[in-house]
Structure 1
Amino acid sequence: MRTTRRTTLRSAAVVVGAATALAVPVGSAFAYSPAGSTTGPAASVRAYVTTVKLADGSVAKVYKIGEGHFEADILAGSTKLDRLVSKGEAATYGQNDGLHVVLRPNGTVTSWTDGTAKPQPKPAPEKQVRKVSSVRITMTDGRIAKLVDGPNGKRVELSTPKGHALATIDLRRPSVQHDGWTYKLVRDGKHVKFVVIDGKGGGNSWVYDFDGKLIEKYTVDPSGAGRPVLLASGGGTAATGAAGLGFTALSHQG
């Protein structure tokens, strides 16, 4: 005997039709109980799943008994031809008067008739896995930033030039300070930017996208001229600037 269970469907009047294949959704697991029985423990029920039209016009009513355990009642009108049972890793195969039916352990029912091609089970769709991308940049302070974009979102891993880890920031912990420098992630619409602020040098700042490109730069005017300049601000009452940072207008008096 092969790994599949074979059974012969009892004869009944059937109409020849096209081959069909239907994937049956899997519900909650239940223990086995005879058909129609509602007695015993609450978990001991035969849970109806779906009705599948077979290739010859008859139908298969599919029930779930437990995990990897399904039954299919084969019916032609009101006449029950047979019951197929699939449990574990074994599929069940039945045939009668040119009709072939397969019940698989995941509840899938396929059928075909003599003279038509046997349908092949459809492969499970592949899950779309978001790929991880990363790029390393050397910042103005000489430190290294690794910009990572992956399934868990965007993050930046900061380290010294020799590779010693300093800190990691993400959108839940978007900012960190080290030795007078501030490193932070900010949202700009649908985009996330990485901002480096030189607190020791008066507030000059550099803004990178997650491709590692320097896309914005803000420089404090050292001349002392009486005109306003944009200075990256850590918060407070500053207005929102182009990089998603706060910017404070400073007026240098001569």
Structure 2
Amino acid sequence: MRTTRRTTLRSAAVVVGAATVLAVPVGSAFAYSPAGSSTGPAASVRAYVTTVKLADGSVAKVYKIGDSHFEADLFAGSTKLDRLVSKGGAASYGQNDGLHVVLQPNGTVTSWMDGVSKPKPQPRPASEKEIRKESSVRITMTDGRIAELVDGPNGKRVELSTPKGHALATIDLRRPSVQHDGWTYKLVRDGKHVKFVVIDGKGGGNSWVYDFDGKLIEKYTVDPTGVGRPVLVASGGGTAAAGAAVLGFTALSHQG
């Protein structure tokens, strides 16, 4: 991939069925879209579709946000150039240093360099099942660290990082557990479901259980009167007995 000099990007919108290209002032950097832009309320889930190598060696990562709404993040190496937004049946067009990129309303991406014929758009997949989707949600855990819960074609995983974004570890069902500074983070199977568990080893074993929508569904507090094997009091979704069995503890009672 060649190094692309970062320049002020220009974008335009290509309306399906129209021959006119709408020019956008310098500095708008792909922000304009005739059907809306990405500056409104953030979608709760961006479903990853694919990564496309562009004509100059840079890449576009394509996400589906909703019906007739796709976004493509453009990267030159590790540098994010900007984002194309196709919404409401309109394509989104951008150019930089002779590179032309179009995000079509069906989520496909085409690109070409100056002096090269414009390629024809690729047909839309016959079925939504053919699109490899990946969804994720970020949560802030009790210890202040960040967990990104990812559900994709290769299964579920959790990416752990510091509040400043420094990567700590990644766990999945093949490597389901990791410890850091006295805290344990693990994935456990509960029937057909997979849960993410955070255990405070420094605090005696208090535990928090999340589903892959990022919702806190169970919380277990160590009973200070317990002796021998830790005895937990469960609150939230599920039953104390079922949740404690997943975590390997003995349940005392259920609250709430």
TM class by shorter chain equals 0.3 to 0.5
Q: Is the 8 A contact 1:137 1:146 kept in 2?
A: yes
Q: Tell me, which stretches of 5 or more residues in structure 1 are unaligned?
A: none
SS in 2 for 1:241: helix
Separation of aligned partners in 2, 1:75 and 1:30 = 13
Between 1:133-142 and 1:8-17, the stretch displaced more is 8-17
Q: Deviations over 1:64-116 (max 9, x none)?
A: 99999999999999999999999999999999999999999999999999999
Q: Give 3-state SS (helix, strand or coil) of 2:73's partner.
A: strand
What CA distance in whole angstroms lies between the structure 2 residues aligned with 1:161 and 1:38?
Answer: 25
Separation in 2 of the partners of 1:227 and 1:8?
63
Once the two structures are TM-superposed, the CA of residue 50 in structure 1 deviates from its matched residue by: 36
Seen in structure 2, the aligned counterparts of structure 1 residues 229 and 150 have a Cα distance that, compared at 3 Å, is: same
Q: CA RMSD in A?
A: 20.5
Counterpart Cα distance in 1 of 2:6 and 2:142: 73
Query: Alignment length, in residue pairs?
Result: 254
Moved more, 15-24 or 149-158: 15-24
Change (3 A) 1:2 1:22: farther
Between the aligned residues of both structures, percent identity stands at: 91
Please report the TM-score for the alignment, with normalisation by the length of structure 2.
0.44
Q: Report the 3-state secondary structure (helix = DSSP H, G, I; strand = E; otherwise coil) of the residue aligned with 1:84.
A: strand
* TM superposition shift of 1:178: 0.3
Alpha-carbon shift at residue 248 of structure 1 (Å)? 3.8
Task: Provide the C-alpha distance between the structure 1 equivalents of 2:145 and 2:80, rounded to a whole number of angstroms.
Answer: 76
Contact 1:227/1:252 (<8 A) preserved: no
State the Cα distance separating 1:222 from its structure 2 match.
Answer: 3.4
- Residues 244/207 of structure 1: CA separation in 2 closer, same or farther (3 Å cut): same
Change (3 A) 1:28 1:169: same
Q: Structure 2 CA distance, aligned partners of 1:43 and 1:111?
A: 27
Q: Cα distance, 1:166 vs. partner?
A: 0.3
Match of 2:53 in 1: 53
- Tell me how far 1:244 sits from its aligned partner: 1.9
Judged with a 3 Å threshold, the aligned counterparts in structure 2 of structure 1 residues 122 and 61 are, in CA distance, closer, same or farther, namely closer
Deviates more, 1:121-130 or 1:109-118: 109-118
**CA deviation after TM superposition for structure 1 residue 131, in Å:** 1.3
Q: Aligned partners of 1:17 and 1:215: how far apart in 2? A: 49
Q: Is the 8 A contact 2:51 2:59 kept in 1?
A: yes
Pick closer, same or farther for the CA change 1:203–1:235 going to 2, 3 Å: farther
- Contact kept? 1:238, 1:246, Cα under 8 Å: no
Measured at CA, do residues 203 and 233 of structure 1 come closer, stay the same or move farther in structure 2, by a change above 3 Å?
farther
Gaps of 5+ in 2: none
Deviations 1:198-234 (A, max 9, x none): 0000000000000000000000123679998328999
Q: Deviations over 1:103-143 (max 9, x none)?
A: 99999999999999999999966752341110000000000
Equivalence for 2:82: 82
Larger radius of gyration: 1
State whether residues 229 and 249 of structure 2, in contact with CA within 8 Å, keep that contact through their aligned partners in structure 1. no
Aligned equivalent of 2:235: 233
1:129-173 per-position Cα deviation (integer Å, ceiling 9, x unaligned) = 341110000000000000000001000000000000000000000
Greater helix percent: which structure?
A: 2
**Does structure 2 conserve the Cα–Cα contact (< 8 Å) formed by 1:31 and 1:66?**
no
CA separation of 1:226 and 1:247: change in aligned 2, threshold 3 A: closer
Q: For the Cα contact (< 8 Å) 2:12–2:24, is it kept in 1?
A: no
SS in 2 for 1:30: coil
Give the TM-score taking structure 1 as reference length: 0.44
CA contact (8 A) 2:48 2:62 kept: yes
The answer to whether the 8 A contact 1:205-1:219 is kept is yes
1:33–1:65 Cα contact (<8 Å) kept = no
Residue equivalent to 2:134: 132
- Say whether the 8 Å CA contact 2:15–2:91 is kept in structure 1: no
Contact 1:21 1:111 in 2 (8 A): no
Task: Provide the rounded CA distance (Å) in 2 between the counterparts of 1:46 and 1:253.
Answer: 35
- Range that drifts further, 128-137 or 182-191: 128-137
